[in-house]
Amino acid sequence: MSSIASHYHERTKYAPDTIATKSQGLDWSKQPSPFKEYKLGKTLDLKPYLGKEALENLTPEAIAWRRLSQMLYCTYGITAKMATLMGPPVYLRAAPSAGGLYPAELYLISRGTALLPPGLYNYQPQNHALLQFWDEAVWANLEQACFEPEILKQVDLALITSAIFYRSAWRYEDRAYRRIFLDTGHLLGNLELAGAINQFHPCLLGGFNDQAMNELLYLDTEQEGVMTVIPLTDSTPSPESYLTALPSPIHSDYALVQDGELLNYFHQATQITQFQTPTSEVSQTTDKYNFPFCLKISTQTNPIHWGIHLEELEQTILKRRSTRAYTGADLTLDELNQLLHFTYQPADYADQGLDPQPDYFDLSLLQTFVVVSGVTGLEEGCYYYAPHAQELRQIRFKNFRRDVHFLCLGQELGRDAGAVIFHTADLKLAIQKYGDRVYRYLHMDAGHLGQRLNLAAIHLGLGVSGIGGFFDDQVNEVLGIPEDEAVIYITTLGRPRVR
């Protein structure tokens, strides 16, 4: 029997002959609220610190508040309001979310600083505030739940991301677990960049005692769970001070639960109770595929310039929107190269103040394929992107517009895009390295990469939209992607249609 992660992946695949049975009407009377409310607590308003007053005119305390306020706002703040035909309006946030459902929650834990007394804080995006719902010291409990990493002895603040499962499952049912982690990855992508803008270095921890972390935040474990722990430093920490990814057990003996129960069952199965070192901490430093006699196109280009003090990056984060329709017009090869460069070559942006080695769980497990339907100067077809060599390697010659339209469940975004990026992973090998918990890591890393693609595209005036619903197996068959590669995420890129 396969592991529970492989079983979950197979159970939640979309296929042409079963998609109708998986598509049920939404019960709008049960639409979940995108905001978490606490009946008691002290509210700390962050809005006054979003101004653009010159730093030299601010007190050290005001500067500290601004750093924290702007980082949280750029990570997960509400940036627009959109009316809907049914139900309440959708409040759009800095990070994208499938269906505008926003399952992720953001917390802050303070050891005790001049600004924030010890305790637990929930970020309230609806009014851009921190709500302190627990005012006692809990830092020792945090260290214990995270298996005592050295990084937590060096900092005073840590962000926590959690997820409320039903917010996404209301629409996407058991497959929502995939989307929850993609959405968390979007948030992590924003946090990495917003941290750099505001002189924070987020340190990503994906391995912790789940039960202890859930109890620390007083979460209802039937409905929600902690996804990541993120200590915040003011400088680059030593790599030895923490491990980003820890393995969980591999569960091959599992119950065959009914549809609708699989998400929670799988989540419980991926939890960690004790520290275990990964089998290998060395990431792959060479590109996985080098197809013989294939056409190879260099993607090397000049870095995108994000402005003085990264001001253009901050503006891009706050104005980002998922594109609803493309014109079908071509992209240029230079535009595609710049998109890939910002996403996969972070070291080239260190001189602008960005992190040259941002935290991912394990990028060596993810592969990238690019379907080119309309890129001036580039032949139509499917390419493997080799990030270390910085080149596209063609694996199939064909115009795939009609095929991608089908693979993306008939969404016109797939048909009209100039390029479509597929993130994949060899799920079997990934599970061998990190156990069933790797399913979390793969999707968060793919979402993180997807958010960098989002921001680069918006900055260049292009359209971009992520797609988490697709015919899984047919992607490999149609595009010629190796069968071992499970499709994790799709990002479409094109010229936006103005409506």
| Residue 366 reports pLDDT greater than 60 | yes
Rounded Cα gap, residues 459 and 212, in angstroms: 41
* DSSP conformational letter for 87: S
126 vs 279: which has the higher pLDDT: 126
Structure tokens, 365: 């497990």
- Give me the mean pLDDT over the 267-296 stretch: 85
E strand segments, 76-217: 78-82, 90-93, 104-110, 119-124, 129-134, 157-164, 201-202
pLDDT over 80 at 10, yes or no: yes
Least confident of 4-8, 49-53, 158-162: 49-53
Residues in Cβ contact with 185 at an 8 Å cutoff, skipping those fewer than 6 apart: 443, 444, 445, 446, 447, 448, 449, 450, 451
- What is the rounded distance in angstroms from the CA atom of residue 281 to the CA atom of residue 367? 18
Could you tell me the sign of the dihedral formed by the alpha carbons of 71, 232, 98, 88, in that order?
negative
Mean model confidence pLDDT for the chain: 94
pLDDT digits (tens, 9 = 90+) for 56-78: 788 999 999 999 999 999 999 99
Give the H or E element holding residue 196. helix 176-197
To which residue do tokens 């039937």 refer? 222
**Three-state SS for 15?**
coil
Cα-flanking dihedrals φ and ψ of residue 122, to 5°?
-110, 130
- First and final C-alpha spacing in the chain: 51
Beta bridge partners of 326: 496
Q: Which pLDDT value is given to residue 284?
A: 65
Q: Report how far apart, in Å, the C-alpha atoms of 332 and of each of 30, 201, 323, 367, 462 are.
A: 45, 34, 18, 23, 11
Strand stretches in 234-300, DSSP E: 296-298
228 forms beta bridges with 161
Residues 480-489: what's their mean pLDDT?
A: 94
pLDDT bucket at 232, cuts 50 / 70 / 90: very high
For each of the domains in the chain, give its residue range(s) and CATH number, in order of start: 31-243 (3.40.109.10), 296-494 (3.40.109.10)
Structure-model confidence comparison of residues 358 and 284, the more confident one:
358
pLDDT: which is higher, 23 or 181: 181
Express each pLDDT in 392-431 by its tens digit: 999 999 999 999 999 999 999 999 999 999 999 999 999 9
Helix locations, 46-175, DSSP H: 60-76, 139-145, 165-172
What pLDDT, on the 0 to 100 scale, is given for residue 292? Answer: 87
Kindly report whether the global pTM for this prediction surpasses the value 0.95: yes
Whether the predicted pLDDT of 247 surpasses 70: yes
pLDDT digits (tens, 9 = 90+) for 137-149: 999 999 999 999 9
At 205, give phi and psi (nearest 5°): -120, 120
Q: What proportion of the chain, given as a percentage, has pLDDT over 90? A: 88
CA 383, chain centre distance (Å)? 23
Give every CB contact of residue 359 below 8 A, 6+ residues apart in sequence. 192, 202, 203, 204, 244
How, if at all, do strands 331-332 and 375-376 pair? parallel
Rounded to whole angstroms, the Cα distance separating 156 from 143 reads 11
Q: Which pLDDT score is estimated for 324?
A: 94
Rama region for 390: left / alpha / beta (φ>0; ψ in -120 to 50; rest): left
* Pairwise CA distance, residues 98 & 86, whole Å: 17
Token pair listed for 495:
């010229």
Buried b (16+ CB within 10 A) or exposed e, 17-41: eeeeebeeeeeeeebbebebeeeeb
Q: How many CB atoms lie within 10 A of CB 461?
A: 9
SS3 41: coil
| DSSP-assigned letters across all residues of 414-464 | HHH-SEEEEEEEEHHHHHHHHGGGHHHHHHHHHHHHHHHHHHHHHHTT-EE
User: Per residue in 171-219, pLDDT tens?
Assistant: 999 999 999 999 999 999 999 999 999 999 999 999 999 999 999 999 9
Extract the tokens encoding 356.
């040259």
Task: Check residue 1 and give its pLDDT.
Answer: 64
| Least confident piece of the model among 20-24, 34-38, 212-216, 336-340 | 20-24
Q: How far is C-alpha 152 from the geometric centre of its chain's CA atoms?
A: 23
